[in-house]
């Protein structure tokens, strides 16, 4: 298909609707009556393809017929390795019209080499029971290994798929309770499982995000995103939701963001983007790099933050750095969510910036209570308030017996609402572990409530218990990355391992120094910091740069780092005495 090179404008020139549709195909039918759409850019910020929703609808309907012509049947799953381009959009929405269930899969950005990536990808394809696998030209040479031995109606490139003969059978009628897509979890604590999202659940979340969280305006709003379309924040936040409220989106390739993060800011400035999101590390990358050229970020009204634990000091640094370029720190909007809830669960109020709660860390660790404190003689911890639950959704914090916890008491976070998943695809026992008969989802997160807002303190599975103290690994990680000049975000992974003398705490630290004296100094400095600030002895193991594993969305995965250590993939002699 020949790309359109005339940029899609900001204005949709139609009455704004905030996701009030029964299905995503119905939403695209409406958006196609306006002038908004997707602009696809390369990593240098050059326009590759403009894809108005009108053209996308026409091409998606054609793609739907080609998918059915490939021998696929209604309800079949289609695994799509998700490049941020027009082909992904055509195939994803083609599936929506054809009654097929797309399963966006990650590109090999955060995996330990070709073999590990292909193994993970094949696991996802098998878990989804996919009957078709679409592999972009970027990794086209790997296609044979990806699809080998699988029972598929189609396995190949987007070009090969779009060249198939179309079916002449009528397209099916799509219902609100039909599956829309499978969203694979990022794999931070376990092997990824496919989150099954219905049309009604997906639309409920898109509607709540647009109408209540972002408060999308009648005119003027425009989205800019580098977020991966195989992750919920990219797929739902900056692909599906904007379409359901007729917004134009400028898309950058995720795989090139780390090399040129300021292209994101340049596009916001150049195209007058108003809504853009990132995990903490994206803001950190931008703040670290020198600015070239003119930027005007005064248009940026919602600088969203989510997808991982929020590091307030990174946001403060970003706001200070870019204030001279028109950025207003009040644009920061904290949010909380997960794929099991389609995406969003809560949003902080707009136009207030990041609101924090500084508490006594020792009280939190020993008593499970977040006592406000600014006493510099105490160990302190600052958390970010992540807002109130979206309308029609509820958030509760419960203890181990299921009783509601008072304000400022830490417990397990539960959520309920119309945008929750149907379940993990093909995994009924895992679904029953997290979803109860009353529709409550156990998020696996620990947190507390404050003034009606939820505050997340960490993942329950990551919690380390030493001598009656509940220690959050990110507290140690953040201390090291913040206090030691040579360390950066995601350079440290902390977890507990069982040893012959009981449980011990280990920190894997990425070290860029090659000199033995510098390495020894880093190790001693890190161990001393943990003893001084946290009162805990930690075995510190230095590992080479870029070796700590990340999920497909860029989160540090402690579970995989621990598995790698136990498998002997890191040298274990560099430990504390």
Cα–Cα distances in Å, from 273 out to 27, 37, 300, 417, 531? 22, 14, 6, 31, 45
> Are the C-beta atoms of residues 380 and 354 closer than 8 Å to each other?
no
458: nearest Cα among 270, 311, 301, 264: 311
Q: Please state, in angstroms and rounded to a whole number, the distance separating the CA atoms of residues 206 and 188.
A: 24
Most confident by average pLDDT, 245-249, 476-480, 499-503: 245-249
Rounded percentage of the chain residues whose pLDDT exceeds 70: 95
The pLDDT of residue 342 is above 50: yes
The pLDDT of residue 344 is above 60: yes
| Mean pLDDT to the nearest integer, 392-420 | 97
Give the model's pLDDT for residue 164.
96
pLDDT digits (tens, 9 = 90+) for 280-300: 989 999 999 988 779 999 999
The pLDDT of residue 571 is above 70: no
| Mean pLDDT to the nearest integer, 28-55 | 98
Task: Taking the CA atoms of 156, 159, 165 and 171 in sequence, report the sign of the dihedral they define.
Answer: positive
pLDDT-derived band at 189 (thresholds 50, 70, 90) equals very low
Give the model's pLDDT for residue 472.
84
| Cα angle, residue 132 at apex, residues 129 and 133 outer, rounded to 5° | 100
Written as six digits, the tokens of 194 are 């496919």
pLDDT digits (tens, 9 = 90+) for 206-233: 999 999 999 999 999 999 999 999 999 9
441 vs 378, more confident: 441
- Give domain status of residue 341, yes or no: no
Give the model's pLDDT for residue 490.
87
The pLDDT of residue 327 is above 70: yes
| Mean pLDDT to the nearest integer, 47-64 | 98
For residue 2, give the DSSP letter: P
What CATH number should be reported for the domain holding residue 479?
3.30.300.30
Give the model's pLDDT for residue 574.
45
Rounded percentage of the chain residues whose pLDDT exceeds 90: 78
- Give domain status of residue 400, yes or no: no
Written as six digits, the tokens of 226 are 């580098």
| Cα angle, residue 264 at apex, residues 259 and 268 outer, rounded to 5° | 165
Locate tokens 């966006």: which residue?
104
Give the model's pLDDT for residue 553.
60
Domain boundary among 240, 260, 280: 260
Largest CA distance in the chain: 75
What CATH number should be reported for the domain holding residue 157?
3.40.50.12780
- Give domain status of residue 401, yes or no: no
Q: Supply the mean pLDDT for the chain.
A: 93
558-565, long-range: CB within 8 Å, 24+ apart, which pairs? 558/188, 558/189, 558/462, 558/473, 558/493, 558/494, 558/495, 559/188, 559/189, 559/190, 559/461, 559/495, 560/187, 561/493, 561/495, 561/508, 562/493, 562/495, 562/497, 562/506, 565/497, 565/506, 565/508, 565/541
Domain boundary among 197, 226, 260: 260
The pLDDT of residue 312 is above 50: yes
- Give domain status of residue 71, yes or no: yes
pTM of structure = 0.90
The pLDDT of residue 573 is above 60: no
- Give domain status of residue 108, yes or no: yes
Quote the domain boundaries for residue 544: 463-566
Q: Please state, in angstroms and rounded to a whole number, the distance separating the CA atoms of residues 46 and 368.
A: 51
Most confident by average pLDDT, 374-378, 383-387, 475-479, 533-537: 383-387
Give the model's pLDDT for residue 308.
78
Query: What's the number of domains the chain is made of?
Result: 2
Domain boundary among 222, 239, 260: 260
Give the model's pLDDT for residue 187.
52
| Mean pLDDT to the nearest integer, 322-335 | 97
Give the model's pLDDT for residue 1.
52
Q: Please state, in angstroms and rounded to a whole number, the distance separating the CA atoms of residues 98 and 96.
A: 6
pLDDT-derived band at 567 (thresholds 50, 70, 90) equals confident
Most confident by average pLDDT, 370-384, 404-418, 474-488: 404-418
- Taking the mean position of all CA atoms in its chain, how far away is CA 460? 19
- Give domain status of residue 520, yes or no: yes
- Give domain status of residue 211, yes or no: yes
According to DSSP, the residues that pair with 447 across neighbouring strands are 411, 456
pLDDT digits (tens, 9 = 90+) for 422-432: 999 999 999 99
| Mean pLDDT to the nearest integer, 155-166 | 97
pLDDT-derived band at 400 (thresholds 50, 70, 90) equals very high
Q: Please state, in angstroms and rounded to a whole number, the distance separating the CA atoms of residues 40 and 250.
A: 6
According to DSSP, the residues that pair with 497 across neighbouring strands are 504
- Give domain status of residue 444, yes or no: no
Give the model's pLDDT for residue 577.
34
pLDDT digits (tens, 9 = 90+) for 63-108: 999 999 999 999 999 999 999 999 999 999 999 999 999 999 999 8
Give the model's pLDDT for residue 37.
98
pLDDT digits (tens, 9 = 90+) for 103-160: 999 998 766 678 988 998 999 999 999 999 999 999 999 999 999 999 999 999 999 9
């Amino acid at each position: 298909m020949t790309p359109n090179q005339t940029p899609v404008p900001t204005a949709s020139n139609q009455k704004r609707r905030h996701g009030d549709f029964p299905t995503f195909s119905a939403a695209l039918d409406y958006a196609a009556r306006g002038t908004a759409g997707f602009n696809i850019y390369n990593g240098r910020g050059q326009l590759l393809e403009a894809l108005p929703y009108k053209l996308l609808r026409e091409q998606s309907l054609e793609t739907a017929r080609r998918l059915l012509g490939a021998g696929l049947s209604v309800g079949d799953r289609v695994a799509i390795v998700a490049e941020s381009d027009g082909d992904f959009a055509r195939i994803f929405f083609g599936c929506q019209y054809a009654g097929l269930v797309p399963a966006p899969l990650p590109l090999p950005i955060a995996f330990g080499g070709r073999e590990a990536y292909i193994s993970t990808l094949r696991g996802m394809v098998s878990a989804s029971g996919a009957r078709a696998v679409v592999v972009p030209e970027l990794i086209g040479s790997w296609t044979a290994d990806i699809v080998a031995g699988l029972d598929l109606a189609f396995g190949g490139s987007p070009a090969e798929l779009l060249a198939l003969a179309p079916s002449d059978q009528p397209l099916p009628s799509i219902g609100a309770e039909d599956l829309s897509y499978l969203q694979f979890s990022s794999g931070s604590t376990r092997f990824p499982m496919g989150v099954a999202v219905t049309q009604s659940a997906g639309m409920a979340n898109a509607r709540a995000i647009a109408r209540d969280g972002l408060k999308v305006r009648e005119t003027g709003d425009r989205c800019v995103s580098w977020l991966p379309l195989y992750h919920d924040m990219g797929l739902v936040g900056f692909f599906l939701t904007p379409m359901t409220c007729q917004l134009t989106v400028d898309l950058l390739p995720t795989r090139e963001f780390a090399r040129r993060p300021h292209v994101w800011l340049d596009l916001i400035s150049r195209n007058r983007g108003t809504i853009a999101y990132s995990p903490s590390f994206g803001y950190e990358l931008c703040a670290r790099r020198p600015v070239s050229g003119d930027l005007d970020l005064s248009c940026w009204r919602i600088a969203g933050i989510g997808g991982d634990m929020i590091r307030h000091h990174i946001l403060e640094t970003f706001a200070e750095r870019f204030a001279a370029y028109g950025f207003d720190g009040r644009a920061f909007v904290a949010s909380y969510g997960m794929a099991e809830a389609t995406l969003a669960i809560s949003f902080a109020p707009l136009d207030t910036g990041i609101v924090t709660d500084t508490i006594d860390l020792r009280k939190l660790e020993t008593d499970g209570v977040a006592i406000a404190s600014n006493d510099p003689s105490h160990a302190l911890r600052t958390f970010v308030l992540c807002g109130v639950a979206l309308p029609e959704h509820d958030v509760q914090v419960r203890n181990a017996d299921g009783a509601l916890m008072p304000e400022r008491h830490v417990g397990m976070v539960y959520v309920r609402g119309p945008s929750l998943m149907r379940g993990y695809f093909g995994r009924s026992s895992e679904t029953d572990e997290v979803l109860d008969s009353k529709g409550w989802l156990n998020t696996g997160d620990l947190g507390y409530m404050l003034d009606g807002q939820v505050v997340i303190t960490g993942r329950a599975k990551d919690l380390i218990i030493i001598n009656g103290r509940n220690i959050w690994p990110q507290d140690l990680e953040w201390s090291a990355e913040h206090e030691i000049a040579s360390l950066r975000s995601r350079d440290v992974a902390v977890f507990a391992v069982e040893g012959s003398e009981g449980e011990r705490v280990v920190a894997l630290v990425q070290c860029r120094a090659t000199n033995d004296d510098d390495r020894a100094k880093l190790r001693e400095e890190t161990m001393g910091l943990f003893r001084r600030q946290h009162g805990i002895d930690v075995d510190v193991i230095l590992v080479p740069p870029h070796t700590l594993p990340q999920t497909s969305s860029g989160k540090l995965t402690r579970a995989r780092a621990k598995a790698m250590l136990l498998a002997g993939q890191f040298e274990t002699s560099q430990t504390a005495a």
